Amino acid sequence: MPFGHCSTAALDDDKGDKKMDYDFGPNSTGTYARVIQNHQSFNGDAYLVLYLLPSTLYLFTGYWPGFELTVAAGRWKEREEQVFLQGAGAHILMDVLPFSRMPRRHEREFNIVIEHYSRALFAKTEHLGWSLLSWRGYLHYLGRSHFFDLENDDLPKAMHEVEPWTQRFLDGCGLRQK
């Protein structure tokens, strides 16, 4: 079962309202994504993909074919109803000139929510300076080990490549993660 045990037991919250407890547990490990539809079909869609790996490494990618590739990686942790990312990132490709490819500190915070019986991560605020990675809103859970192929030669090509690729990226940023 992809979402773990789903209990239908209702619980009272502080206001006496009923909430459903789906018993997802505290582990947000998995793949999350968002497709940003472009109203001009010739520009294509943009994608946000976040891998939260069991090793606590993360890889967060913003990709708009021909326009942008932004990557951030580091460590993630979950506390209460939030996921925190802390690492480094860089713009690899940007259609706005000038732009810097120099790695810089990356931090992001998401609230964990249940959206249509599935876990999602919700960014309440923009993260200025990170272009696609700055978007507010939902990243939807795709599965614990689902690979989302962005069809870009600079990125991993399979799920088993995500962790070593992430480690190489961090090594290149001077942030060896153990």
pLDDT tens-digit readout, 42-100: 778 999 999 999 999 999 999 999 899 999 999 999 998 999 999 999 988 887 766 67
pLDDT digits (tens, 9 = 90+) for 3-33: 232 222 333 333 333 333 444 445 899 999 9
pLDDT digits (tens, 9 = 90+) for 105-115: 999 999 999 98
Of 97, 112, 116, the residue nearest 29 (C-alpha): 112
Global pTM exceeds 0.85: no
Phi-psi bin for 69: left (phi > 0), alpha (psi -120 to 50), beta? Answer: beta
Identify the pLDDT of residue 79: 92
Distance CA 130, CA 128 (A): 6
Query: What domains can you pick out in the chain, each with its CATH number?
Result: 27-172 (2.40.128)
